[in-house]
Amino acid sequence: MIKAIMLIAIVAVGAKIGWDLSLNFTKRVRMIEQLQNDIMYIENEISFKRTQLIDILNGLTSNVSNVFKGQVIAPLTTEDCNIIHEFIAAAGRGDIDYELANIKSAHNRLAINLADAQELKQTQGKMFRTLGVLGGAFVAILFV
């Protein structure tokens, strides 16, 4: 009886590890979507309210706003962060039309990365969950 419980626990731990690894792909998709929402918010603030960019960036309160401040957040790739850093580096160097073009460029590049992240979530996320369960089952079989 105890042996059966231990084997089930081993499979469950393997499944948990696989699930945790696959969650990084889901978090990356959500963070890129939040970045896109923040960029659209910045575009609306500049277009309609004529708010200065520094005031907009200081007003962002989401966890993703740390990327705007130069920090790298774990699930995001360096390419995702570089898009934002290049956006910030080019900010404030021109008139409103230049700012809006810069925003549109960053939004389009994030859309491409979002499509890639969603594809990775579907393929590799599922793979990690499956490998977690199978790895746990394999270790359990070794103990039998």
Which of 11-20, 31-40, 88-97 is predicted with the least confidence, judged by mean pLDDT? Answer: 88-97
Question: Looking at the domain assignment, is residue 140 inside a domain?
Answer: no
Which DSSP symbol is given to 144?
Answer: -
Confidence of residue 113 (pLDDT cuts 50, 70, 90): very high
Q: Structural domain tally of the chain?
A: 1
Higher-confidence residue of 49 and 105: namely 105
The per-residue pLDDT for 106 is 92
Closest by Cα among 102, 83, 97 to 50? 97
pLDDT at position 104: 93
Residue 1 is assigned to a structural domain of this protein: no
CA distance linking residue 122 with residue 25, whole number of Å? 9
Asked whether 135 and 14 are in contact (CB, 8 A), the reply is: yes
**pLDDT band, residue 71 (cuts 50/70/90):** low
In whole angstroms, what is the distance from residue 32 CA to residue 17 CA?
24
**From CA 113, how far away is CA 110, in angstroms rounded?**
5
Identify the pLDDT of residue 64.
Answer: 55
pLDDT level of residue 105 (50, 70, 90 thresholds): very high
DSSP 62: S
Q: Give the domain extent around 113.
A: 6-133
| Angle CA 24–26–27, to nearest 5 | 65
**Residue 139 resides in a domain:** no
Neighbouring CB atoms inside 10 A of 119's CB total 12
With bands split at pLDDT 50, 70 and 90, how would you rate the model's confidence at 16?
very high
Strand intervals (E) in the chain: none
Examine residue 57 and state whether it is found in any structural domain, yes or no: yes
Answer yes or no: is 60 within a domain: yes
Which pLDDT tens digit goes with each residue over 40-53? 988 888 888 887 77
Q: Does any domain span residue 121?
A: yes
